[in-house]
Amino acid sequence: MDICESMENGQEPEAITNKAARSGRRGVLRGKILGVALYAWLIIVVLLLLKLWLVSAIKPNVLEYAAHDDRLFFNLAECIKNGEWLGPYNQLTLIKGFFYPLWIAAVGCLHIPLFLSIHLLYFFATVSILISIKTILIKERYLLTAYILLLFNPISYDAVISSRIVRDHVYMSLTLLAVSFFIGMCLRIQDRPKTIWLWAIGAGLSLSACAFTREEDAWLWPALLLMVAISAVTLAAKKRLDISRAMMIALPFLICLICTLAVSAINYRHYKVFAVTETESIPFVAAYNSLTRVKEKSEIRHVWASKEKRKEIYKVSPSFRQLEEFLEGDLGNGWAASSQQGLPQFDLQGEIAGGWGIWAFRDAVAFAGHYSDGQSAMTFYRKLAREVNDACDRGEVDCHKAPIINTLSPRLRSGDCRQISRGLFKALSLIITHQGIWVEVNPVENTGGDRAYISKKIGTNKFYSAKHASLKISVLKAWINLYSSAIPLLFIFSLAMALRDMSGNKTGHVFQGKRLMVMAACVVLVLTRSLLLSIIDATSFPALQPARLAPLYQFNLIFIVLGIASIGKIKFSR
């Protein structure tokens, strides 16, 4: 109805004009970007600014003496900024993934404070997952509910991963990003090819970033393959699985393979090591695995290779004998003391625990002079593996059967299964209840020496603000308490809704089926990483901590949101 028609119906011109203006304003706010209304984007940005204001009270606590964490990542980042790739070669150069140092270097070049950048990355990953599941959560108000739950996820401002130069926060965001792209691809597999290609490329790049950040990315694969398999079966059932769509499904894995080969080639050019990290290189893994083949005469829980076992290996391996003066001297004693400090609840009897064994082993190899270059190190590891495995095959030492594939996975011992089951229950409890997450006004002063230098380089003072710090921390603590109280109840409700839908008649609904697929993927993600960490906790070092469980809290929250979406008040898109 236009103005003339309205006047004919008896409406005053001024009233008509005001009504048109209000309608125009609503039209502007109802405009959409990436399928989300502008008013929703406005709320998203305001809430982001609120969170950034709150977390600015978390004072960075850089541990400049942490040679295997804060200091290592900072040094590698400085080498990247200077155009030296990962710098001079030693036993630490390729021990961890390069993506986090690359991230530090990139945000440093852009003059973005490091601790601001990690929260912005998490925000980007959160928005990505919301856009990916929008096809099954069509209403903006429900997307906003999911956004608030994820944005203020307590683990995202946990004091441990939000105040140190460690990779856990970035890894958490990258896993969310990778899963979101896979979900987006699988939910839209029947859409236009152009749309699917974009999601598939994003999935491949983000999955590669995960693999280049932490080495244990295998826990992601079962859930990702599950979604891909369901999508492929769905297309095949509808006779729409043509070559083009099959290539789209395979594209993320192909991109990940190409990126892995490219980074391995770069490392080979610089260090003569064809691998992303040395813990993934064939020679090192073979050498480490050969040592674990040799049986312990008296088992001590968590111990990597006891002194008694090492003595047996010294007798049959000239290469390993070169490490004796270091492993049995001050170096070995130092790592044994660190092991006991990290596992005070166990009597290690002066032995080196599994989580510290890999560092002691590599340090001993370096002290023996085999880390002058990558080729020398790899040659040493090949020779050591051959000597120990040959001795095992000849029966000179009592050994386990040779594995089909060499891995760094610890060998399970009697009683470990019980500990693993307990650990799995503990991990799930921590994820659901948010216990163990904490935030405080950090009392440590970043003044003097290397700590002040590093803090300045990463832009600490550009983001941290002591103004109203107590108020900000109090609000964050209140959020943690709220999650601890509400999330367990919401999880139980969502689980009940999922079980109802699986056993009911609604499973035939296309949107219901998609929702259950994503919920199943979230469950698999939580279970696989929890199981992996439970095995590590039972055999090597304390792994059931919020920082290591960090990627799983967000998937539990997504599971909850999708579970709530099954109640009658939330309608699925038609």
Q: Distance from CA of residue 142 to its chain's centroid?
A: 26
Residue 319, token pair as written in the block:
């290469």
Domain co-membership, 167 together with 303:
no
- Which pLDDT belongs to residue 18? 53
Higher pLDDT, 541 or 213: 213
- For residue 548, being part of any structural domain is answered with yes
The radius of gyration computed from the CA coordinates of the chain, to the nearest angstrom, equals: 27
- For residue 405, being part of any structural domain is answered with no
- Which pLDDT belongs to residue 401? 86
Residue 358, token pair as written in the block:
């890999």
- Which pLDDT belongs to residue 447? 53
Domain co-membership, 248 together with 129:
yes
Domain co-membership, 514 together with 549:
yes
Cβ neighbors of 398 (< 8 A, separation 6 or more) are 294, 295
Question: Percentage of residues in the chain with pLDDT exceeding 70?
Answer: 89
Choice among 253-262, 265-274, 388-397, 448-457 with the minimum mean pLDDT: 448-457
- Residue 241: pLDDT band with limits 50, 70, 90: low
Domain co-membership, 305 together with 240:
no
| 140-172 pLDDT, tens digit each | 777 888 999 999 999 999 988 988 899 999 999
Domain co-membership, 123 together with 231:
yes
Q: Dihedral angle at the C-alpha atoms of 236, 238, 240, 246, nearest 10 degrees?
A: -30
Cα dihedral 31, 32, 37, 39 sign: negative
What burial class does residue 9 get, using C-beta atoms within 10 Å of its C-beta: 0-12 exposed, 13-18 middle, 19+ buried? exposed
- For residue 279, being part of any structural domain is answered with no
Domain co-membership, 242 together with 377:
no
Q: Which residues pair with 303 in a beta bridge?
A: 353
- Which pLDDT belongs to residue 500? 83
- Which pLDDT belongs to residue 573? 41
Domain co-membership, 205 together with 132:
yes
- For residue 282, being part of any structural domain is answered with no
- Which pLDDT belongs to residue 510? 52
- Which pLDDT belongs to residue 93? 95
Q: How many domains does the chain have?
A: 3
| 515-570 pLDDT, tens digit each | 889 999 999 999 999 999 999 988 888 889 999 999 999 999 999 999 887 774 44
| 163-199 pLDDT, tens digit each | 889 999 999 999 999 999 999 999 988 887 788 889 9
Q: For residue 261, count other CB atoms closer than 10 A to its CB.
A: 12
**Ordered alpha helix ranges (H), 272-345:** 282-293, 307-316, 318-321, 324-327, 330-342
Q: Distance from CA of residue 478 to its chain's centroid?
A: 26
- The mean of the pLDDT values for the chain is 87
- For residue 404, being part of any structural domain is answered with no
Domain co-membership, 475 together with 427:
yes
- Residue 220: pLDDT band with limits 50, 70, 90: very high
Domain co-membership, 244 together with 334:
no
- Decide if 149 contacts 553 (C-beta within 8 A): no
- Which pLDDT belongs to residue 12? 53
Phi, psi of 94 (to 5 degrees): -115, 25
- Which pLDDT belongs to residue 448? 54
| 363-395 pLDDT, tens digit each | 999 999 999 999 999 999 999 999 999 999 999
Domain co-membership, 241 together with 175:
yes
Q: C-alpha distances in angstroms, 7 versus 12, 20, 21, 24, 334?
A: 6, 13, 16, 19, 90
Final residue belonging to a domain, choices 368, 399, 430: 399
Separation between Cα atoms, residue 293 and residue 375, nearest integer Å: 25
Average confidence (pLDDT) over 246-273: 94
- Residue span of the structural domain in which 172 resides: 33-274+420-564
Higher pLDDT, 445 or 71: 71
| 88-124 pLDDT, tens digit each | 999 999 999 999 999 999 999 999 999 999 999 999 9
For residue 32, give the H/E element and its range: strand 32-33
Domain co-membership, 326 together with 212:
no
| 442-451 pLDDT, tens digit each | 655 555 568 8
Separation between Cα atoms, residue 102 and residue 85, nearest integer Å: 9
Q: For residue 543, count other CB atoms closer than 10 A to its CB.
A: 19
Q: Say if residue 293's pLDDT is above 60.
A: yes
Average confidence (pLDDT) over 13-41: 61
- Which pLDDT belongs to residue 336? 92
| 462-482 pLDDT, tens digit each | 888 888 889 999 999 999 999
Separation between Cα atoms, residue 352 and residue 227, nearest integer Å: 41
Domain co-membership, 377 together with 327:
yes
- Which pLDDT belongs to residue 507? 44
- For residue 340, being part of any structural domain is answered with yes
- Which pLDDT belongs to residue 497? 87
- For residue 231, being part of any structural domain is answered with yes
Average confidence (pLDDT) over 490-499: 91
- For residue 76, being part of any structural domain is answered with yes
Q: Say if residue 16's pLDDT is above 60.
A: no
